Amino acid sequence: MAMAEQNDPHPYSSDFLAALTGIIAQWTAPSFLVAVTAREGIDLDSTSITAISILGRRGPLRPSALAEHLATGASNVSKVLGRLETSGLVERRKDDADARASLVQLTPAGEDMATAFVRAGDGMLEELLDGWTEKERHLLTQLTQRLDSSTRAFAARISTNPSGPQGSEERTVSE
């Protein structure tokens, strides 16, 4: 348990999983997102940062789809989108596929902001890997891409069989 927290009441048996969980927790922490993007002169709350990042990577989305990606409700997304619209970073447009629905997309200023987020991330990673050899960086990239591919395949498998392997019983909170 080299990398795991010493007082963790539920430690992973894998040091790798403990380290990866720690990285994910740190990188997705609201204060971390705000601090990393602030280095590019950006002054936004973490939910706005995440919303712009999602729209920058996925393109226009319905507010309900954005809410799902943000793991939040419609009322919170409405507030976030209101702030971003007021700031000129997003705009709504009619959904050509469904006249009753609207899509949210980045404005040119929002696209610039998304590009600044990428610069902030690139700069952060450059600092994190300072002192690493090119060989180490290449190996990390290869293995991370392989893990990403395996993760996507696993996610596809479990989404088509959400109840798990044949014969497994669903566990409930009351158990």
Residue 52 CB contacts under 8 Å (≥ 6 apart), including other chains: 44, 84, 89, 90, 106, 110, 113, 114, 117
Q: Over the stretch 93-110, which tens digit does the pLDDT of each residue have?
A: 998 888 889 999 999 999
Is the pLDDT reported for residue 174 higher than 70? no
CATH number of the domain within which 32 lies = 1.10.10.10
- Report yes or no on 113 lying in a domain: yes
- Report yes or no on 141 lying in a domain: no
CA-derived radius of gyration, the chain: 20
- Report yes or no on 48 lying in a domain: yes
Task: Tell me which residue range forms the domain holding 69.
Answer: 26-128
Is the pLDDT reported for residue 171 higher than 60? no
Inter-residue contact 12 to 18 (CB < 8 Å):
yes
Residue 24 CB contacts under 8 Å (≥ 6 apart), including other chains: none
Q: How far apart are CA 29 and CA 33, in angstroms?
A: 6
Phi, psi (degrees; rounded to nearest 5) at 53: -60, -45
pLDDT at 162: 63
Is the pLDDT reported for residue 165 higher than 60? no
- Report yes or no on 156 lying in a domain: no
pLDDT at 99: 83
- Report yes or no on 51 lying in a domain: yes
pLDDT at 21: 94
* DSSP 8-state secondary structure symbol assigned to residue 42: -
Instruction: Name which residue leads in pLDDT, 2 or 97.
Output: 97
**What is the count of structural domains for the chain?**
1
- Report yes or no on 34 lying in a domain: yes
Inter-residue contact 47 to 76 (CB < 8 Å):
yes
- Report yes or no on 117 lying in a domain: yes
78, amino acid identity: S
Q: How far apart are CA 169 and CA 75, in angstroms?
A: 35
- Report yes or no on 142 lying in a domain: no
| Residue 34 neighbours by CB distance under 10 Å | 16
Inter-residue contact 120 to 39 (CB < 8 Å):
yes
pLDDT at 105: 98
Rounded to an integer, the average pLDDT of 138-152 is: 98
Q: How far apart are CA 31 and CA 44, in angstroms?
A: 11
pLDDT at 163: 64
Residue 5's pLDDT band, with cuts at 50, 70 and 90, is low
